[in-house]
Chain A
Amino acid sequence: QQQVKQSPQSLIVQKGGISIINCAYENTAFDYFPWYQQFPGKGPALLIAIRPDVSEKKEGRFTISFNKSAKQFSLHIMDSQPGDSATYFCAATSSSGYALNFGKGTSLLVTP
């Protein structure tokens, strides 16, 4: 049972463009939503995270948008660079449940 649904499965963006990855969840108890970046042969690394008390969080070129009523959140990568080419995972967890529930991942390719 996939608790977090992620789309698209893969994404190709030109250098300088905007990459957008979307996630949706059902469990209203979730209150922490991180995004992880994973390069081949490496473990996932935390990129940015948000809690539902805010609708947007920005760190450099990376922004999370959060829509509590729709139970959706998304990652926007501005001015995408070839070095951003990686697999991105959204995740969700609750204060009482600790386990991170991951989406299936989005493979991003940024072309020069």
Chain B
Amino acid sequence: EAGVAQSPRYKIIEKRQSVAFWCNPISGHATLYWYQQILGQGPKLLIQFQNNGVVDDSQLPKDRFSAERLKGVDSTLKIQPAKLEDSAVYLCASSWTVQETQYFGPGTRLLVL
């Protein structure tokens, strides 16, 4: 089966610009996650969707980050405006449902200058 797809793979922007990432989960997976992985650290959950509803967004910086999952399939994560400290890899993961194995995409590497 096809894995989790993410695009773009790399993005370089200047601070205060906006950026958007796209994720296509594994077909049939109801749960979708966005993680932020800063260099040298483990992934940190930003937001979790169950179908198109938000389950957990407690660690999402809502003043600048937003995410949506329309029709319970694809998802986009947006940062506006970006800060230097947002430089990281943004990972999307999906699972059949909560508590099931999470499958990760290759990630989008963001560099904010």
Determine if chain A interacts with chain B: yes
Write the residues of chain A forming the contact surface with B, with a CB cutoff of 8 angstroms: 4, 6, 32, 34, 36, 41-46, 49, 89, 91, 95, 98-100, 102-105
Residue B104 at the chain A interface, CB threshold 8 Å: yes
Beyond A98-B48, A98-B55, whether A45 also contacts B104 by CB under 8 A is: yes
The answer to whether A43 touches B104 (Cβ under 8 A) is yes
List 12 A–B pairs whose Cβ atoms lie within 8 Å, in order of A's numbering. Answer: A4-B42, A43-B91, A43-B93, A43-B104, A43-B105, A44-B43, A44-B104, A49-B101, A89-B43, A98-B48, A99-B45, A99-B56
Per the bound structure, the CA–CA distance linking A32 and B102 in Å amounts to 13
Give the number of residues in B that approach A within 8 Å (Cβ atoms): 21
**B-chain residues with CB within 8 Å of residue A36 when the two chains form the complex:** 104
Residue of B nearest to A45 (CB): B104
Per the bound structure, the CA–CA distance linking A100 and B99 in Å amounts to 10
Per the bound structure, the CA–CA distance linking A45 and B101 in Å amounts to 10
CB distance from A88 to the nearest CB of B (A): 10
